[in-house]
Structure 1
Amino acid sequence: MSESEVRAAVERELPGVRADLERLVRIPGIAFEGFDHSHVEGSAEAVAELVRGCGLDVKIVRSGGQPAVIGRKAALPGAPTVLLYAHHDVQPVGDLTLWESDPFEPVERDGRLYGRGAADDKAGIMAHVAALRAYGDALPVGVVLFVEGEEEYGSDSLERLLAEHRDEIASDVIVIADSTNWDIGVPALTTSLRGIVNCFVEVRTLDHAVHSGVYGGPVPDALTALARLLATLHTEAGDVAVDGLVAREGASVDYPEDRFRAEAGLAEGVSLIGTGRITERLWTKPALAVLGIDAPSTAEAPNALVPAARAKLSVRLAPGDDPKRAYAALRAHLEKHAPWGARVTVVFEHDGAPCVIDASGPMFDAARSAFRTAWDGTDPVDLGIGGSIPFIATFQEMFPRAAILVTGVEDPQARAHGPNESLHLGEFARVCLAEALLLKKVAEAGVDGR
């Protein structure tokens, strides 16, 4: 197919792709504990049906976790094979009152499709499907479609799945459609991602709650002690104060502060924290956030000293850091800074490795060319991501010869993981065209183009 034929084919398929995306968004497939996992099963079945309709051989697989979908179509002799990755599970919706519409009933407003998973990552699935439908039986490359079902919950079983199906999914190029573009109208390739360490820290000062008037003064309450402990995690300027975490210099990409403040939704008068360029603070330096605290709610709090309080901490690690070593450093810091002799207990939750991608070579040239065409001559930006996709490091280790292309379906206004998540439909159309063109250009580069 010529480039113009590919463009026309994608445009032809977009209405059906949009309708199928909306059907996927209606499935509340949340892999977190405490949710109805039958919806995750239903989501996998729906994805399998879509992939089967593209002419691929399909099966649903699992390895002790949630269901993943593998679809395969062998390459013609001499043609490369491309693995297309996405995930069909979604984040919990959180406080429903913060949503302007039902998170599982897709709604279009001002050119954006709103709904949980509309951007992260059901649009990634449908970008793959759009490219496959555009070619029909004339696919220029072999394809393996791999859509997992627990990425938002940590991909606990993914490494086992990859090992068990390694021969089936081995590819020359891996396209991971789970990142973001630089801006509306500006595509991007993600070339570095931070790692992650999540843990819980509990502070205990009493065996049981006691009267705040009778004992208050000499007896420290656990919530105050926890607050003092958490305050030690950052310097006065807001840099992470845990000794031993890696920090690197940032990329040369300029991120204007006014744009960043607007995209983050920073309240008026609130200062940015940390030092260095914004891209360094986002992409190549560690960040530490308190995600939640277990303590009596204000509505139910008696006049009693709290005996124990717990917080969930999340550390984003700079590329080059090691999650196990970073967790040991964080635990040592928390234990060392226990206020007033309080008993501090740290419990590991999960971690993931950071990664850096060498985005050079023919396959990356093919991707940049496809993006440039889809975005009407705009060059893609090589960017880092403050978030984490730990399994990319696993792909790098298992398939060291494959070119790994981390592409984006989101934009800075997508609000992935938050209320009112949405997908810019104009950008989504470009993403679909770019992926279809990418398959054509990868075929032209050939197996030796790795």
Structure 2
Amino acid sequence: MFSIINPFNSAFLAEHQYFTDQQAEAKIAIAHNSFFKWRLNSVDERLNFIKNLKFSLKKNKKSLAEYCTNEMGKPIKQSIAEVEKCGLLCDFYLDNAGTFLKSYKITTDGSESYVTHEPLGVILGVMPWNFPYWQVFRFAIPAIIAGNTVVVKHASNVAGCGKMLEELFIDAGFPEGIYQNLLISGSQVEAVINNPLIKAVSLTGSEKAGASVASAAAKKIKKAVLELGGSNALIVCEDADLNDTIPIAVKARMQNTGQSCIAAKRFLVHNNIYNEFIEKFTSAVKELKSGNPMNEDTDIGPLARKDLAEDVEKQVNKSVAMGAKIVIGGKRNEAFYEPTVLTGVTKDMPVFKEEVFGPAVPVLSFNTFDEAIQLSNATGFGLGVSVFTGNINDIKQKIHLFEEGAVFINAMVKSDPALPFGGVKHSGFGRELAENGIKEFVNVKTVYIK
């Protein structure tokens, strides 16, 4: 048994029991048997269930948001926005999945040649706590539309959200076994991957978890998609409009209390505007309201667990001991960590070289854009980068120099259903969302007729 504790007030929320290995195997067998019927449905027939799911999502928006806020501390207005974003993803695939999965002909020396897209079978999703609905939807929805069935091992500290998700699919009328919540511990994941009925796995999580899952999948010659950590740079050029940049920079770092893989975690600001940026940015950060995440005017809630706040505290304190200066913030109270801005940071400090999963940001200066690129690339991660500039055409010529899965100009890095999402280097491999995402778990089958 394990307990779920509200990170805001340490209140007991619920107690859960992990499935036994035998129970997990039974769930997977149900998914496998259901796959053979589900795959025979046309894409349009599958999409009818997605329409129902969107209705269930809207109907249960308030309760879903409250579960999220209570279990991992996300400010309620952000929890609501997350649920709504899941609906936008459904809309995107309702409009485009038929085209993405359509067979197409190729001219060869044969009488007929074409390519089809066929589902693989049961897909395992290993999902994180920071966006407990959005992360699952962007994995599960395209996989299911493509004709697969899925089992989801969700993060234990959002077990209630995991159960709510399964209930959504039931409420939407999906046949048994198309979507199932697999309430197992991390130590049980490898055995699930080893199950011959599991055909592939998608993981969103830490480097350590990604390496473990990828290794287990590789041993069984199974495909894996990994969306891991990030340490995105946010570059502010000398010609950037700070009035436009500052609000975006605040959101890019502080949204979800800094607990996002694509958050802007390292700020790089041109030396000529560095002091002005620091002044305006810290002033804007001071306006953020910390407190009860159930209050609609709260911007900063607790971190999802006390130990996560302690980790951020250690990274900041060690960096300060190495010479960094705290401009604002730097204090922890249980699971709360103050929004924190640091200067005097060097590349060997934890707040620069490690992923900081909380509301703390180092701000460094640069003199040339080439220097900014070098600083941006000076990390093992490669998820995304934001560049703020008044000269877009000049930056467009240098996009290829960034070792990233995404480059956003005059905008924060974000996930969008219409855009492929994923990283390079230690940020993982494979892509979610868009056409790329729906084709990750299909057999691209070539047919040639002489």
TM above 0.5: no
Between Structure 1 and Structure 2, which shows a larger proportion of helix residues? 2
Name the TM-score, length of structure 1 as normaliser: 0.29
Which structure is richer in relative contact order (CA contacts within 8 A, separation 6 or more)? 1
Name the TM-score, length of structure 2 as normaliser: 0.29
